[in-house]
Amino acid sequence: MSKYLKHKENNGFAALLIVIILGGIALASVLSASTGIVWSIRGGVDAKKSNQAKALVNACAEMALEALREYHVYSGEDSLLISGNSCTHTVTDTGGDSRSIVVSGTVGDITKKINITTNGFNPMVISSWQEVP
């Protein structure tokens, strides 16, 4: 009878070991999937903020260009507030009809910056419009 009991104890241990291993695999799978989902959501939020920052900085650049169009000798710094997010632009006279415009805007922790160079006023000639890091 001792052989029968010994064999029965080994079956219970093997079943317990299989349950623990399968439980560990299931837990690892759930944790991996949930981590991936969290990173995916964060990436989507960052992409949305990046698009908002780009739109903000483009609006600020358009404001600076409009100020130049209306007042050709305009230079200096100004800011714009849209939906609680602010941007600034700085217009520098680089000689003649040329102007350099630096625009920066931040949404959350995402900052976008644009450098613009103009070479004329009537019509407005934009020789360069570059997003910079």
Residue 99 CB-density burial (10 A; 0-12 exposed, 13-18 middle, 19+ buried)? buried
Instruction: Tell me the pLDDT tens digit for each residue of 61-91.
Output: 999 999 888 888 888 899 988 888 999 999 9
What do you get for the CA distance between the two ends of the chain, in Å? 79
Q: Number of structural domains, the chain?
A: 1
Mean per-residue pLDDT, 15-19:
85
Mean per-residue pLDDT, 2-28:
76
User: What residues make up the domain containing 31?
Assistant: 2-132
For the chain, give the percent of residues with pLDDT over 90. Answer: 41
Residue 103 sits in a domain whose CATH number is: 3.30.1300
pLDDT category at 41 given cuts 50, 70, 90 is confident
- Which comes out higher in pLDDT, residue 11 or 50? 50
How far, in Å, CA of 55 to CA of 112, rounded? 9
How far, in Å, CA of 99 to CA of 37, rounded? 47
